[in-house]
Amino acid sequence: MSETVHNRIALLRAEQGVTRRDLATALGVHYQTVGYLERGENSPSLDLALRIAAFFDVPVEAVFSLTPFPRVSDQAGRPA
Protein backbone atom coordinates (compact mmCIF):
# COMPACT_ATOMS: atom_id res chain seq x y z
CA MET A 1 0.00 0.00 0.00
CA SER A 2 1.93 3.02 -1.24
CA GLU A 3 -0.71 5.71 -1.54
CA THR A 4 0.47 9.26 -1.85
CA VAL A 5 -0.19 11.40 1.19
CA HIS A 6 -1.09 14.91 0.07
CA ASN A 7 -0.37 17.79 2.39
CA ARG A 8 -0.70 21.52 2.95
CA ILE A 9 2.51 22.00 4.91
CA ALA A 10 3.96 24.60 2.52
CA LEU A 11 0.68 26.54 2.47
CA LEU A 12 0.45 26.56 6.26
CA ARG A 13 4.09 27.59 6.59
CA ALA A 14 3.54 30.47 4.15
CA GLU A 15 0.38 31.62 5.93
CA GLN A 16 2.15 31.65 9.29
CA GLY A 17 5.52 32.93 8.09
CA VAL A 18 7.40 29.81 9.20
CA THR A 19 10.55 28.63 7.40
CA ARG A 20 11.31 24.98 6.74
CA ARG A 21 14.18 25.26 9.18
CA ASP A 22 11.95 26.79 11.89
CA LEU A 23 9.37 24.03 11.48
CA ALA A 24 12.02 21.33 11.47
CA THR A 25 13.59 22.70 14.66
CA ALA A 26 10.22 22.81 16.40
CA LEU A 27 9.50 19.21 15.34
CA GLY A 28 12.98 17.88 16.08
CA VAL A 29 13.65 16.74 12.50
CA HIS A 30 16.13 17.77 9.80
CA TYR A 31 14.94 20.67 7.63
CA GLN A 32 15.28 18.46 4.54
CA THR A 33 12.66 16.15 6.04
CA VAL A 34 10.17 19.00 5.86
CA GLY A 35 11.05 19.50 2.20
CA TYR A 36 10.63 15.80 1.44
CA LEU A 37 7.22 15.84 3.11
CA GLU A 38 6.08 18.99 1.30
CA ARG A 39 7.03 17.53 -2.08
CA GLY A 40 5.35 14.22 -1.30
CA GLU A 41 8.63 12.33 -1.54
CA ASN A 42 8.09 10.91 1.96
CA SER A 43 4.99 10.26 4.02
CA PRO A 44 5.05 11.22 7.69
CA SER A 45 4.74 8.76 10.52
CA LEU A 46 1.52 9.09 12.49
CA ASP A 47 3.48 10.69 15.32
CA LEU A 48 5.06 13.28 13.01
CA ALA A 49 1.75 14.03 11.26
CA LEU A 50 0.10 14.69 14.61
CA ARG A 51 2.99 16.89 15.76
CA ILE A 52 2.82 18.92 12.52
CA ALA A 53 -0.93 19.44 12.95
CA ALA A 54 -0.40 20.45 16.58
CA PHE A 55 2.33 22.90 15.57
CA PHE A 56 -0.08 24.68 13.21
CA ASP A 57 -2.96 24.24 15.70
CA VAL A 58 -5.23 22.57 13.13
CA PRO A 59 -6.78 19.09 12.83
CA VAL A 60 -4.55 16.54 11.13
CA GLU A 61 -7.14 16.32 8.33
CA ALA A 62 -6.49 19.98 7.53
CA VAL A 63 -2.83 19.16 6.83
CA PHE A 64 -2.89 15.64 5.34
CA SER A 65 -5.18 13.77 2.96
CA LEU A 66 -5.16 10.67 0.77
CA THR A 67 -6.90 12.68 -1.96
CA PRO A 68 -5.53 15.91 -3.44
CA PHE A 69 -6.64 19.13 -1.80
CA PRO A 70 -8.49 21.57 -4.07
CA ARG A 71 -6.22 24.30 -5.39
CA VAL A 72 -6.75 27.72 -3.85
CA SER A 73 -7.08 29.22 -7.34
CA ASP A 74 -9.93 26.77 -8.09
CA GLN A 75 -11.84 28.16 -5.11
CA ALA A 76 -11.27 31.83 -5.92
CA GLY A 77 -14.36 33.77 -6.79
CA ARG A 78 -16.75 31.23 -5.32
CA PRO A 79 -19.32 32.57 -2.86
CA ALA A 80 -18.75 31.56 0.73
CA distance 62 to 6: 11
Strand locations in the chain (E): 6-7, 64-65
- CATH number belonging to the domain at 6-60, selected among 1.10.260.40, 3.30.70.520, 3.40.50.2000, 3.30.450.40: 1.10.260.40
Task: List the chain domain ranges.
Answer: 6-60
Please report the pLDDT score of residue 62 as a whole number. 96
Q: What is the dihedral of CA 47, 51, 57, 62, to 10 degrees?
A: -50
For residue 40, what is the DSSP state?
T
Please report the pLDDT score of residue 50 as a whole number. 98
Low-confidence ranges of the chain (pLDDT < 70): 1-2, 74-80
Cα 77–chain centre separation: 24
Comparing CA positions, the residue from 2, 51, 60 lying closest to residue 29 is 51
pLDDT tens sequence across 44-65: 999 999 999 999 999 999 999 9
